[in-house]
Amino acid sequence: MEPVNPHCQHFLMLFIRFFEHSHDTVRSISWSLPSTAPAVADTITAHFEDTGRDFGDYDRVFTGDLGWIGRDILMELLAERGAAPDGEKLVDCGASLFSQEQDPHAGGSGCGCVAAVTCGYVLRGIEEGAWRRVLVAASGAMLSPTSSQQGESIPGISYAAALEADD
């Protein structure tokens, strides 16, 4: 069976882990996307612990979609855990699609941004040899109007997939 995307045949999925996280410190954040930054931080650090890797083992680490605000929060959370990446190595999919001049606040659609950047940019970059190994950590918010109105936190969820070029 031929893959739908011909770029996908050249990649090996090494790791995927689902991690659900609810963080009390995000109760006051009115935007949903930055609330997923703690879940992304936990997923990235759990991936590093599980695999014995760190940021140095990846050419790029893509997140999606935290936006400009969530990316800054993620950088702080990772620094607190001793896993601060090089600022150019960590790329947020939403921040890469929307400039700050467009006033996207916390980004766009998480599932749309990470899918567009991964399938349209990341896979092509690996195939063309720009990167050998990347980590994609997607995220989403488990929004509920009822729980938000009751002052509950917004649970965030994140998963990571390591993509590596075939030899």
pLDDT in tens, 18-77: 444 444 444 333 344 456 888 899 999 999 999 999 999 999 999 987 887 888 889 999
The least confident of 34-48, 83-97, 125-139, 145-159 is: 145-159
Output phi, psi for 44, to 5 deg: -65, -45
Instruction: Locate the domains of the chain by residue range.
Output: 6-165
Q: Measured between alpha carbons, how far is 51 from 45 in angstroms, rounded to an integer?
A: 10
Are the C-beta atoms of residues 37 and 73 closer than 8 Å to each other?
Answer: yes
Joined together, the tokens standing for residue 123 give 């896979």
Confidence of residue 7 (pLDDT cuts 50, 70, 90): very low
Confidence of residue 113 (pLDDT cuts 50, 70, 90): confident
According to the CATH classification, is domain 6-165 in 1.10.1050.10? no
What are the Cα distances from residue 83, in Å, to 24, 56, 95, 103?
A: 22, 10, 21, 29
Confidence of residue 110 (pLDDT cuts 50, 70, 90): low
Confidence of residue 156 (pLDDT cuts 50, 70, 90): confident
Predicted local confidence at residue 102, as pLDDT: 64
Residue 148 has pLDDT above 90, yes or no: no
Query: Starting at the edge strand that comes first in sequence, how are the strands of the sheet with 90-92 ordered?
Result: 11-21, 156-165, 133-141, 60-64, 90-92
